[in-house]
Amino acid sequence: MEGGLVLLGGGGSSGVSTDESAVSKVEVVSEASSFPAESELELGLGLSLGRSSVGTTGRTKAGTSSWGECGRILTAKDFSSVVSHRTNNGGPSSVAVSETKRAAESISHEGGSPTDVSQVVGWPPIRAYRMNSLVNQAKAPRVEEDKEIGEKDKPKDALKKKLYDSSAVNDKGHLGFVKVNMDGIPIGRKVDLNAHSCYESLALALEDMFLRSANSVGAGMEQVTKPSKLLDGSSELVLTYEDKEGDWMLVGDVPWRMFLSSVRRLRIMRTSEANGLAPRFHQGNERQRIKPI
C-alpha cells in the first residue's frame, strides 16, 4: 500500500488504486537499484515488493468506515500526479491549487464531508492541545461583545482579516475530535465531528462505536440514509451534548453547523435521565426527523 490515506485534494484519477505500483515515481525510484543490494536481505529490489494490492481494503470496501471518512480513499498514485505539478515557487501555485480543488470536488462522496482541506488523520502533526487553540482562534469574527471570561470567540480587528479570509474556507476548524462517553462504560471514545456532515452519520458512527462489537466486520458499511435510533427517541438511549456554556442539550435540535460551533463533548445517556434537557420533549409528541443536509 502506498501512501495510505492521503490528501483528499490530490489527483484527478478515478477509481481505487489496485495493483498498480508507483509507476509515476519511476525516475526517482530507479536510483534505489543503483545501491548495492544487501546480501543478507535478499530483497529482490524492485518498485513493488509484492505490495498489498488493495491498499486500505478494509476501508475502501464501501468507501466509508465507522469513523465516517466519507470521501473516497486516495492512494499515492492519485497523489503523485499532483505532486509532480506542485511547484511552490515561493507562493501558492494557483494551477496546482485549482487542480486540487477541482479534483477534490469531482471525487466528493454522497457523504459530503469537506473536500477542500486535508483529511489525513493526524497530519500535519500538531498536538490536539494546540489544535484546539487554533480552532478557537480561527473562528469567524463575531460582533464585538463585552469581554467575558473564557469567551473563546473574541472579536478580532482588521489586522487579522487576512487570517480569517483564509480560514473561512475551513471555518469548522479542523480539530473535530470531541469526547464521547456512554453511561455505564467507563472509558470514553473520541469522534471526529469534521468527518460528518449531518446528525445521521454522526449518530450511526456512535452506534457503531458503542452499540456494536468491534469484531463485526462490515460495521460501518451502513448507508448514511438509514435513520438512527439515537436521534429519534425510539431507543432507551439518547444522544446529548455539552455546549460552550456548560449546558447539556439534546443533539439534533439546532442546525448542524450551529451544533458544530457550540459542542464541547457528547454523552449517550439513558432516556430516563434526559428529562430535564430537551426543548424537543416539550414539543408534545411531535418528533423531528433529522434530515441529512
**Which 219-258 residues touch other proteins, going by CB under 8 A?**
219, 246
The footprint of other proteins on residues 185-204 (CB under 8 A) is 187-190, 192
Diameter of the chain measured on Cα atoms: 77
**Which residue's CB is nearer to other proteins, number 138 or number 290?**
138
In this chain, which stretch among 22-30, 222-230, 250-258, 276-284 interacts with other proteins, using CB under 8 A?
22-30
Residue with cell 502506498: 2
Rule CB under 8 A: say whether 214 interacts with other proteins.
yes
Q: Does 25 bind other proteins (CB under 8 A)?
A: yes
Which residues does residue 125 pair with via DSSP β-bridges, in sequence order?
none
Task: Please state, in angstroms and rounded to a whole number, the distance separating the CA atoms of residues 228 and 290.
Answer: 9
Handedness of CA 250, 256, 117, 90 (dihedral sign): negative
C-alpha cell at position 52:
498489498
Q: Give the nearest distance from C-beta 135 to other proteins in angstroms.
A: 10
Closest CB to other proteins among 35 and 286? Answer: 35
**Least spacing, CB of residue 253 vs other proteins, in Å:** 23
In contact, 279 and 243? CB cutoff 8 Å: no
- Report the residue number, 79 or 259, with the smaller CB distance to other proteins: 79
What's the start-to-end Cα distance of the chain, in Å? 34
Is position 123 an interface residue for other proteins (rule: CB under 8 A)? yes
Q: Which grid coordinates are listed for 138?
A: 480561527
- Does 121 help bind other proteins (rule: CB under 8 A)? yes
262 counts as binding other proteins under rule CB under 8 A = no
> Which residue number, 21 or 228, has a Cβ lying nearer to other proteins?
21
Record the cell numbers describing residue 85, joined without a space: 505539478
Question: What CA–CA distances, in Å, run from 54 to 1, 50, 51, 57?
Answer: 7, 11, 9, 5
Tell me phi and psi for residue 180, to 5 degrees. Answer: -125, 125
Site for other proteins (CB under 8 A): how many residues?
A: 98
Measured between alpha carbons, how far is 73 from 255 in angstroms, rounded to an integer?
28
Q: Does 288 bind other proteins (CB under 8 A)?
A: no
Interface with other proteins, residue 15, by CB under 8 A: no
Kindly write out the interface string for residues 76-115 of this chain, putting x where it contacts other proteins by CB under 8 A and - elsewhere.
x--xx--xx-xxxxxxx----x--xx--------------
The verdict on 14 binding other proteins (CB under 8 A) reads: no
Smallest distance from other proteins to CB 288, Å: 31
Q: Is 280 in the site for other proteins (CB under 8 A)?
A: no
Question: Nearest 5 degrees, angle CA 277-CA 283-CA 286?
Answer: 120
Which one of 39, 49, 275, 286 is in contact with other proteins (CB under 8 A)?
49
Q: Please report how many Cα atoms fall inside a 13 Å half-sphere around the Cα of residue 106, on the Cβ side.
A: 14
Reading the block at residue 80, the C-alpha cell is: 503523485
Residues in Cβ contact with 149 at an 8 Å cutoff, skipping those fewer than 6 apart: none
143 binds other proteins (CB under 8 A): no
Q: Which x/- pattern over 145-174 shows residues binding other proteins (rule: CB under 8 A)?
A: --x-xx-x-x-x--xx-xx--xx-xx---x
Q: Does 23 bind other proteins (CB under 8 A)?
A: no
